[in-house]
Amino acid sequence: MVSFPHCKINLGLHVVEKRSDGYHTIETCFYPVPRTDILEVIKADAFAFTTSGLPVPGEADQNLCVKAYRLLANDFNLHPVKIYLHKIIPMGAGVGGGSADAAFTLRLLNSLFQLNLSQEQLKSYAVQLGSDCTFFLQDQPMLAGGRGEMLSQAPVSLKGKYIVLVKPGVHVSTAEAYAGIVPSKPAQSLKSVLQMPLESWREKLVNDFEVPVFRSFPVIAGLKARLYENGAAYACMSGSGASVFGIFNAPVDLNTQFADVDYWAGTFA
């Protein structure tokens, strides 16, 4: 069985408070983006995990696809499988590529072995793999709270809009990004801002990570400015970086302007 794990962007991201368990409570909107990896899972005589495309760092045992299989195998005594991942979504980009691969592995295994797990049951496994993994169990925009696992439908649609996603060759430490933030509740709820016209988002739809990350990595701030210079209706950093995206009202080809970075353009479904 083959699937195409998609990535996401964050439409607004507020760090609301530091929790007693060491995590942070956030408020954000995860929005699906049609840039995908390719994931295949088939039954086999012995377990195997292979990759192609972009290099995947770390040992295979630590890969989230492998961890997803083992989570279900522990409870359902699954037959061995071969997992093949062709990596297209860049890592360390703040777009959830690894979490998407993990969640789509759960979805494929649920179908392949006819486990008939409900969304809530799948969510209980996904949250063990990563805070934003639960988002990738459905293919629609979602408001997220808690650590990112508490989801509700988002009142926003970018259907027909165009997106440009760029990633510079720098790595942003999520821990360091959080360390640069003083948690606080936003003056205006994210849900209310998302219901405003796209053109008003520039001043109102904020990612709290931009201030500390831009201070440490001015190249990322420069990419955001370049997206606005090239006509973006809205531009922002996704997650804790390093990717920046621009939303456009009409098709745009900026490949030459962004030849120095990882560049991708597409249309929202």
The catalytic site residues sit at 8, 132
The Cα 22–Cα 65 span in angstroms is 25
The Cα 208–Cα 241 span in angstroms is 11
Say if residues 171 and 242 touch (Cβ distance below 8 Å).
yes
∠ CA 227-158-236, rounded to 5°: 30
**Which parts of 59-96 fold into alpha helices (H)?**
64-76
The Cα 265–Cα 252 span in angstroms is 8
Where residue 184 falls (left for φ over 0; alpha for ψ -120 to 50; beta otherwise) is: beta
Where residue 132 falls (left for φ over 0; alpha for ψ -120 to 50; beta otherwise) is: alpha
First CA to last CA across the chain, in angstroms? Answer: 23
